[in-house]
Amino acid sequence: MSQEGVLQGGGAVADDEHHHGPDKGILRWVYTTNHKDIGTMYLLLALGSLLIGGCMAFVIRAELFQPGLQLVDPNFFNQMTTMHGLIMVFGAIMPAFVGLANWLIPMMIGAPDMALPRINNWSFWLLPFAFTMLLSTFFMDGGAPNFGWTFYAPLSTTYAPPSVTFFIFAIHIMGISSVMGAVNVIVTIFNMRAPGMTFMKMPLFVWTWLITAFLLIAVMPVLAGVVTMMLMDIHFGASFFDAAGGGDPVLFQHVFWFFGHPEVYIMILPAFGIVSHIISTFSRKPLFGYTSMVFATSSIAILSFIVWAHHMFTVGIPLVGELFFMYSTMLIAVPTGVKVFNWVTTMFRGSMTFETPMLFSIAFVVLFTIGGLSGLMLAVAPADFQYHDTYFVVAHFHYVLVPGALFSILAAVYYWLPKWCGRMYNEALGKWHFWLSFIGVNLTFFPMHFVGLAGMPRRIPDYALQFADFNAIVSVGAVVFGLSQLLFIYNVWRTTLGQKGVKASDLVWDQPVGLEWTALPSPVPYHTFQTPPKVD
Amino acid sequence: MKKLSPLKLSIIPLLMFGFGFALVPLYDIFCQVTGINGKYYQVADEASLRLVSAQGEKVVPLRLLADADSRDVWHFTPEKKLLEIQAGKMITTYYEITNDQDVEVTVQAVPSIAPGEWSEYLVKIECFCFNQQKIPPHSTVRLPLQVTLSSKAPEEVSHLSLSYRIYQSEPLGGTF
């Protein structure tokens, strides 16, 4: 072993020349420890997952276009809803934010790279294997997981298809990847800020990601714990969730949502950071209430640990529990309201222009607020007994995840792409993409509120006739929304690989704030900030 | 500037992994301490026996229920559906379980007491739910239950329900 170490050390001395460009060929992507390369790979993985998960959504909406069973059998429908949720949450939204973190955090804090570049490479390369394993369950006996993305026991233990074991290991691998990624982000932000960049001078995207990373290291291990308990129940005769052996199926829901609720903030806090940057730039005003943004984000993160049972109002928790979780959940509306107020106030009397990233960000503020308000309705425990497990819940979380998290990711790509690749995307195509997405997303998810309130349950392949018209509208909206994402892919492709579009200036936009704009050229070189900038 | 060590930071996820498992007893402890959830683990110990030996006057109706499930391969019913319990007076009653199959089944009964906030006042001296029960093929077994009302039960305790759900203890077989 020591011999090898000496040899490697010797090699490093002989090869002391600075690399100014990436290696050539496919192995560049396998070996790379460059935060920009890894960020790109994360974003591409997220895009791939978005397309796969989107195809599953198409299957779901095709089946629900009219009542009755037309295209798929109920078990396959359940596999579709389950895998759609898992792929979108763990494969699309989370990796997309990690990709943006990789690209942006070092450039925003004036660091040359992430603190742990090799861990970074490993965190990424675990994911393709995890998702290959997860998707391979479609070809196994008994089919893919069919118990819903929340995998409640005993559906996911006693009554699960045999492929559940592969699902468990896929979750383990994703969890390890997320935790390593989060540790990397925290260490980078703590140790590698440029001289003069104090915590309260950090850009908000960095702040929100720091808080997100703490949430990740706190709750991803709990998710790993709960799937490990499932594994023990299934294969080793334990009975964590089996009443016959002294366990309790409700325990599963408690432990799962102890992870699950912070998880939903993991998927939205970085979005808050992104839109704060974009709204400030295109309003040509500094962000209103920077400090209150930081504290609001932290409060949301802390509150997320004490609200989990609002997902379980109907399992029979005692009245005092219902009240506690109802009030603590409603409390989250306060810091969230502070944020929305700050965004609106930033725009107020600003010199606003409406480029594509700004359009997506304004839509984010409006539509995320709608999702937040339906969340407040769901927080009312006595009313939740009516809404629970209906399409109203589906409408709620899609409003916060699609025009919430996903729109912020699209906005971020449009906003920073000219800095990354040195060319402007096509603005007309961008606007088409925005308006089709905006119309499609509302057409898809708004009528779900109505059918949900009228009592249509979620996760069913067939439904009562009175829901037929709204479901047909929803399916049409889904096709509009889904296909309009192809415009985005084409736009990004022609700007990056296609080398089309006007060259971007170093600042790209009017007076943007942040080191990535003011201290670096467009496109950003492969290595940046090898000597740290001075921040005053 | 003092640097944050990634190894030290990794202690948090490791501890949280342990915390996930610690939640299993923590939830039970929480339910026991607060007495909420109707999941009350009172087994007659000396202290509670002494408490119930004080003669009480109050009579409370106790409803006995058996929760059925479409997957059940047995018949399970209480012999009496309604009893009157009184502090200091033991009542013995039986549930009946019939196994029509050709094989022996091992079952475990899981009790639930409603209303949950009064569950601590129903004291089980002897219950078939304390152990697994083996039901031979083609036979009916009477399962004993001995209960009383705690002398600590306040005036407002007006009614109690005790229901049982029967689970098969061995894996259903064949799947894994």
Structural domain including A258 reads 27-518
Asked if residue A5 is part of any domain, the answer here is: no
Residue ranges of the alpha helices (H) in B35-166?
Answer: 46-53
CB within 8 Å: B117 and A318? yes
CB within 8 Å: B17 and A320? no
Residue-by-residue pLDDT tens, chain A, 536 positions: 344 443 343 334 444 445 566 778 888 899 999 999 999 999 999 999 999 999 999 999 999 999 999 999 999 999 999 999 999 999 999 999 999 999 999 999 999 999 999 999 999 999 999 999 999 999 999 999 999 999 999 999 999 999 999 999 999 999 999 999 999 999 999 999 999 999 999 999 999 999 999 999 999 999 999 999 999 999 998 989 988 787 889 999 999 999 999 999 999 999 999 999 999 999 999 999 999 999 999 999 999 999 999 999 998 888 888 999 999 999 999 999 999 999 999 999 999 999 999 999 999 999 999 999 999 999 999 999 999 999 999 999 999 999 999 999 999 999 999 999 999 999 999 999 999 999 999 999 999 999 999 999 999 999 999 999 999 999 999 999 999 999 999 999 999 999 899 999 999 999 999 999 999 999 999 999 999 998 87
Cα separation, A419 vs A96, in Å, equals 18
Cα separation, A447 vs B85, in Å, equals 54
Nearest to B13 among A162, A217, A316 (CB): A217
Q: What CATH homologous superfamily does B38-168 map to?
A: Ctag/Cox11 (2.60.370.10)
Catalytic, out of A233, A263, A322, A516: A263
B113-118 — which CB contacts under 8 Å span 24+ positions?
Answer: B113/B38, B113/B40, B113/B160, B113/B161, B113/B162, B113/B163, B114/B38, B114/B160, B114/B161, B114/B163, B115/B38, B115/B160, B116/A318, B116/B35, B116/B36, B116/B37, B116/B38, B116/B39, B117/A318, B117/B35, B117/B36, B118/B153, B118/B157, B118/B160
- Tell me if A448 sits within 8 A of A395, measured CB to CB: yes
**DSSP secondary structure of A157-185:** TTT--TTHHHHHHHHHHHHHHHHHHHHHH
Q: Residue A378: enclosing H or E segment and its boundaries?
A: helix A356-379
Name B124's bridge partners: B43, B147
Cα separation, A122 vs A43, in Å, equals 16
Asked if residue A11 is part of any domain, the answer here is: no
Contacts of A240 in chain B (CB under 8 A): 24
Closest CA to A32 of A121, A149, A162, A129: A121
Asked if residue A279 is part of any domain, the answer here is: yes
Q: Sign of torsion, CA A192 A195 A197 A198?
A: positive
Is the per-residue pLDDT at B35 higher than 80?
no
Amino acid A12: pLDDT: 41
Tell me, yes or no, if A240 comes closer than 8 A to chain B by beta carbon: yes
Name B114's bridge partners: B161
Smallest CA–CA distance, residue A12 to chain B, in Å, is 24
Mutate to test the interface with A, among B11, B32, B37 (most CBs of A within 10 A): B37
Closest CA to A429 of A520, A498, A530, A515: A498
Q: Which ipTM score applies to this complex?
A: 0.84
Nearest to B4 among A162, A190, A243 (CB): A190
Cα separation, B68 vs B105, in Å, equals 16
Number of domains chain A contains: 1
- SS3 call for A112: coil
Asked if residue A201 is part of any domain, the answer here is: yes
Structure confidence by residue, pLDDT tens digits, B66-124:
887 767 788 888 988 888 888 878 889 999 999 888 888 888 888 888 888 888 888 88
- Please state the φ and ψ torsions of residue B135, each to the nearest 5 degrees: -110, 115
CB within 8 Å: A229 and B117? no
Asked if residue A1 is part of any domain, the answer here is: no
Asked if residue A19 is part of any domain, the answer here is: no
Amino acid A290: pLDDT: 96
Structure confidence by residue, pLDDT tens digits, B41-61:
444 444 444 444 455 567 888
Give yes or no: A177 in active site.
yes
Asked if residue A8 is part of any domain, the answer here is: no
DSSP state of A284: T
Tell me, yes or no, if A172 comes closer than 8 A to chain B by beta carbon: no
Give yes or no: A390 in active site.
no
Give yes or no: A4 in active site.
no
Domain ranges across chain B:
8-37, 38-168
Residue ranges of the alpha helices (H) in A68-196?
Answer: 74-86, 94-109, 117-136, 164-191
CB within 8 Å: B167 and A242? yes
Name B139's bridge partners: B99
Closest CA to A253 of A315, A327, A326: A315
> What's at A370, amino acid-wise?
I
Amino acid A16: pLDDT: 45
**Which CATH number does the domain housing residue A212 bear?**
1.20.210.10
Q: What is the pTM of this model?
A: 0.83
Tell me, yes or no, if A220 comes closer than 8 A to chain B by beta carbon: yes
Catalytic, out of A177, A188, A283, A437: A177
Give yes or no: A261 in active site.
yes
The sheet with strand B91-99 has its strands ordered as B74-78, B91-99, B139-149, B122-127
Contacts of A161 in chain B (CB under 8 A): none
Structure confidence by residue, pLDDT tens digits, B1-31:
578 999 999 999 999 999 999 998 988 888 7
Cα separation, A109 vs A193, in Å, equals 5
